[in-house]
Amino acid sequence: MRRFGWQRGPPARPTYDSEFGNRLAPHQRDPSFTGWFTATAYVTGAMLAVRDGAVAFGGWLVWRFQAFWRRHKLLAAGSLFLVTVIVVRAISFHHVEVILGSRWFGFMRNWFLEQTWIGLVSLVAVRQKSS
């Protein structure tokens, strides 16, 4: 086992975060706890239903206005970029936040993402005004 870099020894002591989490969530230790935790299956089902409804509505909007999106490809790209940034920020975990917060050429990566969609939508507005 040593050749793989694994070492035997005492188990790692719990971190402050795990101790805090254990104190905050007694249902993880006490099987008789009957709080909101017993309804997580219903909450998960409701969230999945909302997600599925949003995906279906978005698909219908794209299908219904497909001629508009064909004429405004830059606007479609900017809108897609905006939705992607919002969804990634909404569901991101710590490692995604670290990546978005890191610097790239002296600027935060999150700044590049935000400025890209703003630039695409602004370019569409300038083109629309000039035509």
Domain residue ranges in the chain: 11-64, 66-131
Token pair for residue 48? 């999945």
- pLDDT for the residue numbered 28: 55
Q: Would you say the pTM of this structure is higher than 0.75? A: no
Token pair for residue 9? 């020894």
- pLDDT for the residue numbered 1: 46
**Torsion sign (Cα): 20, 26, 27, 30:** positive
Q: In Å, how far are 1, 6, 19 from 9, measured between CA atoms?
A: 12, 10, 21
Q: Where are the alpha helices (DSSP H) in 31-108?
A: 40-64, 66-71, 73-91, 94-101
| pLDDT mean for each 10 residues of the chain (131 residues) | 51 54 59 62 83 91 90 83 78 71 80 81 84 74
